[in-house]
Structure 1
Amino acid sequence: MPADPTAPGRRAPAPGVVPGAGPGPGRPACRAEVRYLLGRLLPFLVIALATVADVLTPPQERFDRFLIAAPALAAATWSARGTAAIGGLAMAASAALAAARGDSLLPAALANQVVLAVVALAAAVSSHVRQRREAELRQVSAVAEAAQGALLRPLPPRLGTVDLRLLYEASAAGAHVGGDFYKALKVRDGVRIMLGDVQGKGLPAVEAASLLLGSFREAAYTAPDLPAIAQRLEASMARYAERAPESDAADRFSTVLLAEVPDDRPVIRLLSCGHPAPVVQRDGAVETVELTAPSVPVHLPVPVDAPFTVEEVPFGPGDRLLMFTDGVTETRDARGAFYPLEQRLAAWADEPADRIPGLLREDLDRFGAHGLEDDTTALLLVRDGSGGTVPRLPSPPRAVAV
């Protein structure tokens, strides 16, 4: 979530975790599978331990009372029929132990069986309810995947003279889309890219992101330059706020970074609307691009009359530029220190571009005191290093106010 620039004291700011670039880490999924397997085995372990303990201890020590836990535990992982069967197994074990002790059928043994039967029935009903909810969640997950495909389609590995490598992960557990958004399009004379972050989280943030993505898709092909695209984004949000003022999405502002890579010049043009500056790697050196006059975030509820400034930065064959949201740079360790992005990218200067998103995802997860708490997006642009049509002599950086 982008920091509110109006608040005092705030700093300005294929499938898987890396869409189109490789799968995410497998350790959490592996741990979940182990926990699920243990949950499946636990009811049988309770029956076995209770039975052995009851046999090996004096008759007055009644460990068969613990058998009641078996069907209750089974409801968490087994089907309704499986839970009922485990309840029946517990009842059979209880009856066998009562017979071994020579207990009379009435009243204790029968009462114990009745209690076990009631618990097993209740556990089976609970299991059935759980299965229905899991089926509903699977349907919701399928809808979320469809929404991701429509809203945030995987980027192609290459557009024009630029290779693209993406890391995208929503902060909400199990979520497929969040407040971060991205898009890259091949236009007539180059490639135009947008990466942004909507204020807040949840469905209103996703709705605002969808509005900005739709506006960019239309403007990227026809707008003469990046300031014209930024104006279209602002106008789209303003129209939506007028049309649906009651919507939570109408009150959200967004930080946006627009980029344009011309096919025939070794430069990249950047326009920031309150978004963190990207990091460029050139000839082994890594540095943050200096944005001399970033604009305010899109749809910020503050009257501002200032021109959009486009920064033109050298971006020749073999150069890399990383665009990212604040979910990357504002990740903190246990001591409160921010993630050292430049230092990490310098250490990975010799790594293939395909590996950078995965390395960044794993390193952020290790570095963060509580893992990734915010939507996290990073888009690595790599200029074609084959020598093709892009000249190698870089142009000096310049800023143009429009």
Structure 2
Amino acid sequence: MTRPGEDRARPGVLPRGVCLLPFLLLAVGIVLDVGTPRDISAAACFSAAPIVAAALLSLRGTVLVGLAACAADLAVLAHHGLLTDRGAYSDWVSVATMAALAVVLNRVLHRRDMRLRSVSGIAAAVQHAVLPQPPPRIGALRIAARYEAAQTDAQLGGDLYAVQDTPYGVRCLIGDVRGKGMGAVEAVTVVLGAFRDGAHREPTLTGLAQWIEQTLLRELAQREGLDQVEDFTTAVLAEIPRPGDRVRLVNRGHPAPLLLLEGAVRPLEPSRPALPLGLAPLGTDSTPVDTVAFPQGAGLLLYTDGVTEARDMSGTFYDPVGRLTGQRLRGPDELLAVVVADVHRHTRGRIGDDMALLALTHTGPTRTTRTTRPS
């Protein structure tokens, strides 16, 4: 039984076959030394094997490869009758030295891996705290959300989503903070906090957008980590009032949501463009609210531009409308799974930007007994 952090192979980001490389080097060294004249040495293979093992295997594996390399070099010397030749031992000393260095290197890499795992774990915990999963169902709506980081070890970025059940209906937010580093993460917390507070305060979707914008502008002016020019936020606010048969949308410079119904996919473009959140001082027009039907069986997909800006090897952007047209998906979880898997196929796993996705489907009223509230 292996100890924590002492797996037979180093963290499973590499195919298992790659971990056989040290043993392959040992085998090649033995074949070369045995099959060539005695004045030709393959000690370089024996020296390389433990160094490669240090990067790929655990401490135990590295020690075993190092011992095997020293033993193989001695066996080759015996095969050529050089055990009594003092000069031939220089190769063996080199192999033994590299084996010892490999053990030290393995420990250094192990400590680095542990630090990376700790940082990744903290980042994942922060992400779950900042972007908690929405409830799977609210009334007639089934809901699912997903966050895909562009880098494997990165768990936090500028993409965001949120869902709130309010007296005015179910309100949703999808957004993308422009900016990088901790400033973007800080802006995410500001936008999400403003949305969660304002969603219950503001009776209109326009008022909610203004609430978030005013909060963001105030924080931009007060916090040194936020840039008043760079850290604006593109966003879509959606409101589905009860009984859930229509959707109100406010789009602030964000990719248009998609309405899916019976295999058809319709982009819900805004009736009039609006500036992203945080850029209100640059414009004076009020934000339009667009209302569309949301019949039973329909799905709504909100996403950030990491989806539409994903490119294949030829540079072609991913087209969610064309890729989803004709597909009849049974629920929000299946919809997100299909989209994420399709983006990975389109890019061959080389995603250049984070993706946040939020999906809702109108399934009709639940069959549970409903309690009548006093009017």
- Kindly indicate whether the alpha-carbon contact (under 8 Å) linking 1:234 and 1:299 is maintained by their aligned counterparts in 2: yes
Matched, 1:123 2:102: yes
- Kindly indicate whether the alpha-carbon contact (under 8 Å) linking 1:273 and 1:296 is maintained by their aligned counterparts in 2: yes
Q: Pick from 91, 99, 105 the counterpart of residue 112 of structure 1.
A: 91
| Inter-partner Cα distance in structure 2 for 1:53 and 1:266 | 75
- Kindly indicate whether the alpha-carbon contact (under 8 Å) linking 2:139 and 2:365 is maintained by their aligned counterparts in 1: no
TM-score when scaled to structure 1? 0.82
SS of residue paired to 2:55: coil
- Kindly indicate whether the alpha-carbon contact (under 8 Å) linking 1:317 and 1:386 is maintained by their aligned counterparts in 2: no
Q: Pick from 9, 13, 16 the counterpart of residue 37 of structure 1.
A: 16
Matched, 1:100 2:79: yes
Instruction: State the match for 2:215 in structure 1.
Output: 236
Matched, 1:185 2:174: no
- Superposed CA RMSD in Å reads 2.5
- Kindly indicate whether the alpha-carbon contact (under 8 Å) linking 1:160 and 1:186 is maintained by their aligned counterparts in 2: no
The alpha carbon displacement at 1:255 in A equals 0.4
Where do 5+ consecutive residues of structure 1 fail to align?
1-31, 390-402
Matched, 1:311 2:290: yes
Matched, 1:88 2:67: yes
Evaluate the alpha carbon distance shift between residue 86 and residue 359 of structure 1 in structure 2; reply closer, same or farther with a 3 A threshold. Answer: same
Write the deviation string for residues 58-97 of structure 1: whole angstroms up to 9, x where unpaired: 3233234421111111111223454233222211221222
Evaluate the alpha carbon distance shift between residue 54 and residue 278 of structure 1 in structure 2; reply closer, same or farther with a 3 A threshold. Answer: same
- Kindly indicate whether the alpha-carbon contact (under 8 Å) linking 1:273 and 1:298 is maintained by their aligned counterparts in 2: yes
Instruction: State the match for 2:345 in structure 1.
Output: 366
Instruction: State the match for 1:29 in structure 2.
Output: none
TM-score when scaled to structure 2? 0.87
Write the deviation string for residues 155-185 of structure 1: whole angstroms up to 9, x where unpaired: 2211232111223212223222221100001
SS of residue paired to 1:309: coil
Instruction: State the match for 2:40 in structure 1.
Output: 61
SS of residue paired to 2:251: strand
Evaluate the alpha carbon distance shift between residue 159 and residue 353 of structure 1 in structure 2; reply closer, same or farther with a 3 A threshold. Answer: same
Amino acid of the structure 2 residue aligned with 1:254:
T
- Kindly indicate whether the alpha-carbon contact (under 8 Å) linking 1:208 and 1:250 is maintained by their aligned counterparts in 2: no
Instruction: State the match for 1:145 in structure 2.
Output: 124
| Inter-partner Cα distance in structure 1 for 2:14 and 2:353 | 26
Write the deviation string for residues 294-322 of structure 1: whole angstroms up to 9, x where unpaired: 32101127521221211111112222221
Evaluate the alpha carbon distance shift between residue 38 and residue 370 of structure 1 in structure 2; reply closer, same or farther with a 3 A threshold. Answer: closer
Q: Pick from 240, 248, 252 the counterpart of residue 231 of structure 2.
A: 252
The alpha carbon displacement at 1:368 in A equals 2.9
| Inter-partner Cα distance in structure 2 for 1:346 and 1:262 | 27
| Inter-partner Cα distance in structure 1 for 2:146 and 2:303 | 9
- Kindly indicate whether the alpha-carbon contact (under 8 Å) linking 1:80 and 1:125 is maintained by their aligned counterparts in 2: no
Evaluate the alpha carbon distance shift between residue 92 and residue 290 of structure 1 in structure 2; reply closer, same or farther with a 3 A threshold. Answer: closer
- Kindly indicate whether the alpha-carbon contact (under 8 Å) linking 1:51 and 1:63 is maintained by their aligned counterparts in 2: yes
| Inter-partner Cα distance in structure 2 for 1:297 and 1:373 | 22
Q: Pick from 256, 279, 297 the counterpart of residue 277 of structure 1.
A: 256
Write the deviation string for residues 311-354 of structure 1: whole angstroms up to 9, x where unpaired: 11111222222112112222233444332322222221355543
Instruction: State the match for 1:268 in structure 2.
Output: 247
Q: RCO greater where, 1 or 2, for CA within 8 Å and sep 6 or more?
A: 1
- Kindly indicate whether the alpha-carbon contact (under 8 Å) linking 1:64 and 1:97 is maintained by their aligned counterparts in 2: no
Instruction: State the match for 2:134 in structure 1.
Output: 155
| Inter-partner Cα distance in structure 2 for 1:388 and 1:266 | 17
Instruction: State the match for 2:373 in structure 1.
Output: none
Amino acid of the structure 2 residue aligned with 1:274:
G
Evaluate the alpha carbon distance shift between residue 56 and residue 162 of structure 1 in structure 2; reply closer, same or farther with a 3 A threshold. Answer: same
Identical pairs, percent: 37
> Which has the higher mean CA deviation after the structures are superposed, 44-53 or 173-182?
44-53
Matched, 1:348 2:340: no
| Inter-partner Cα distance in structure 2 for 1:34 and 1:215 | 38
Evaluate the alpha carbon distance shift between residue 346 and residue 91 of structure 1 in structure 2; reply closer, same or farther with a 3 A threshold. Answer: same
| Inter-partner Cα distance in structure 1 for 2:360 and 2:183 | 29
- Kindly indicate whether the alpha-carbon contact (under 8 Å) linking 1:332 and 1:369 is maintained by their aligned counterparts in 2: no
SS of residue paired to 2:29: helix
| Inter-partner Cα distance in structure 2 for 1:387 and 1:78 | 53
